[in-house]
Structure 1
Amino acid sequence: MNPVMITIPEPCHENWNNMTPVEQGRYCDVCSKEVKDFTAMNDEQMQSYLNKTTDKVCGHFKASQINRELITAPRENGLFKHLWKLLLPVFFFAPKAFAQKTLPQNLQGKDSVVDYTHKRLVLGMVVKGIGIIPQEKGIKIITGKVIQKGSGDAISWVDIRIDDSVFCRTDVEGRFTLKIAKDKLNGTIKIGAVGYVSQELKVKKIIEKEGQQIEIQLELAMSGGISLVNPAVKKTNQQVVKKEMSVVKEKYTVLNDKVKIYPNPVANGNTCSLQFNEVDKGEYTAILTNIDGRAVQQTTFTVPDKNYVFHLDLNKEVSAGAYLLRIMNKDGKLFYNGKIVLE
């Protein structure tokens, strides 16, 4: 069997304990499908099962079972089988000192079993041809986690690109798996998420840590409108002595508690609802911006009552990812800002 790797690009958020037990795993009422339990299988059993099935598989895995090459025992050929039978008498008549060798004290009376404890489990779809990744020659596979600088909290839906082509996104636990081809070894990895300062890393620097869990820290971006104040110029004898440029934050109140967005995440090209509670009537503008701050959609609408639900049709040409949704009031002041995820 060819070596394979199991990855879960988009882990399922449903609770395993809330599912209905069935013969080979559990049944998810939300997804209306059976979830196969792989946690008791070894590498060879998993690979054998996945190679035999022709359908898509939804599975329950230990964290240690994914994002690595599955290890399978080499097949025993016929000649070795017969040689083994001839060698058996040699072992039976070997000097008994061979069997009486004293074991270290800490191993005496113990079975030869290594016990591994796995506290974190992963639930998600394994799609044949996508979820199972054959090991390609010359491909570097990097795994890691993106966290918030200072707090250490995991950041989900972080976009990770290499020269705007190779792309992956962190899961709900901030983890990612990135495949790097030979022609990208001199490239630059760009990491960005809404509300965070983007970061760039050289591929070569990351490759040096291949085989290790890479931790990337992103810093929270400064929130608030920015305005430029005219330079203060002081002159002496008609010569410019000093020029000062001041950047100040515009003061405003962000009424996050007066607007609710649902569903969030929302399917790409669908409609999301903006629920306004106890707000001023009038005209509002919703602006959807990407991680680079570029507006990808802008919609102006009227709120006729202080309690109102507006259904925002999302542009189907906007790609999946995390975005910042800003709502401006009729005076052009920021009324709401928040994160929205398109799937």
Structure 2
Amino acid sequence: MSNIQNINIPKPCHQSWQQMMPAESGRHCAQCCKTVTDFTTMTNSQVIAYLSNTGNVCGRFNEQQLTNLNHQFSADIPATATSGWKRLAVIMGIASFALSFKAVAQNKPATTVQTPKPTGDAGSIMLGKVVATTDAAKTRVITGHIYDDQNLSIPGVSVKTPSGLTRATTDTAGKFRLTIPADTKQVQVLFIGYKPLLVDICADENYQVKLTTEQYGMLGEVVVTRTPIIKRIYYKCIKRPIRKIFN
């Protein structure tokens, strides 16, 4: 097993995967001139091997795939961590005994040094630069269906947290699945041509979201109505010259 403990994408890429040009291992993003690796076609072992040998990776993950990978890392960590803590406990025990013996001999109090525990942060996202972290934040999974005024499903809708660090896109059936921090209060629903919408997050796990179209100004072919040619000749050749003579 590699030394990777967690995988997340803290700064999501806002570019459309469908609009990127196909490349050897994924698709090429013209915005940042990088190849985005498609990890959705790889097994967990292939993903781990790839990330263990490659740095500075932009990737595309299936959200459930990221969850499964991080669960696998979590399952592998305790044995290593436990053996490490056992070694640390033995070392601290020996050090404590030596300090206690010295304190009795010199009648001086011994000092205890506390080792701070590592802290970390993690999230999950489908497209962006891959970053390995040490701990996983508490999250919850919400799902939903997004449709329009005619009750038709809308694919390609962006659903994200207000910070933008966690987002998902609806599939061809207008459905989405999003892992969010447990304390998230709202998510944003965005799609071109429709009014942006904030959805309150409550105890429900599945949401039915209706988007309404934006109200634009009048659109259409421009038609210009002009004065009939006879009237234009009359004003130009007769009426206007006569006015100049008398004025």
TM-score interval, smaller chain: 0.3 to 0.5
Higher relative contact order (CA closer than 8 Å, sequence separation 6+)? 2
Structure number having the greater strand percentage = 1
Structure number having the greater helix percentage = 2
Q: TM-score, normalised by structure 1?
A: 0.35
Q: TM-score, normalised by structure 2?
A: 0.44
